[in-house]
Amino acid sequence: MDIQALIELDQQVLHCLNGSNSLFWDGMMMTITSSITWIPLYLSLLYLIIKNNETMSQILLIFGFACLCLLLSTGVADISIKPWIERMRPCNDPMLKYQIEVVNNYRPRTFSFFSGHASNTLSIAIFVCLLVRSRLLSVFLISWSLLNAYTRLYLGVHYPSDIFAGLLWGTGVGFFTYYLFQRLSHRVIAKGNFISSQYTNTGYNFQDIDMVILIFVLTLLYSTLKALILYT
């Protein structure tokens, strides 16, 4: 398969996933794609880390590596790759923009390849999953990342290949950052393996994890209500 065939396939998949005839889903996707919507989730994750680590050095180390995730995922995309590749977003491409469904004329002016939403959400999700070691939380965080990635296709601001590359890069960043964290953490964090019905094996309380999941569900409920009230 040559490059042109891949480009055409990329566009065909985008057309399948882009937009709908529903004002409700338009509002839902616009709300979910906004980073502001997820501030409560970020704060709940911060609370989970603070509550379940005993010293400020432990907390700062984890927070520092979480910031490194964002720096490597978003920074590389926005500072290096996007200006180098200079791929136009489908919603701005003169050859495609009239075929793409957009919501509220949402057309970001930055370049398209690769998706920062996909890379930064998945890198953080993987880092936290490896840190906390809760299967249920892992399911919700990975779902959160994939949902954010899908909104970019629905809104016509990324191609599927942008999303795929972003997810691939985010996965690598998440695992690499956690590997570095593990190499340094034994000097600061004295936690061993926990064998308890109240904690994960890395020492995170299940009740605190349930609180994070509740915040995720409530945020989706908020997004649903906002879409119903403001967009329909």
pLDDT at residue 57, rounded to an integer: 87
* Three-class secondary structure of residue 205 per DSSP: strand
Closest among 150, 144, 146 to 212, alpha carbons compared: 144
Nearest by Cα to 101 from 214, 17, 225, 196? 17
What would the pLDDT profile of 150-164 be if each residue is shown by its tens digit? 999 999 999 999 999
What would the mean pLDDT of 16-45 be, rounded to a whole number? 95
Compute the distance between CA of residue 63 and CA of residue 35 in angstroms, rounded to an integer: 18
Instruction: Read off the pLDDT of residues 104-157 as tens digits, 9 standing for 90 and up.
Output: 999 999 898 889 999 999 999 999 999 999 999 999 999 999 999 999 999 999
- Beta strand spans in 79-190 (E): none
Domain ranges of the chain: 29-230
204 CA to centre of own chain:
22
Q: pTM (2 decimals)?
A: 0.92
| Domain 29-230 top-level CATH class | mainly alpha
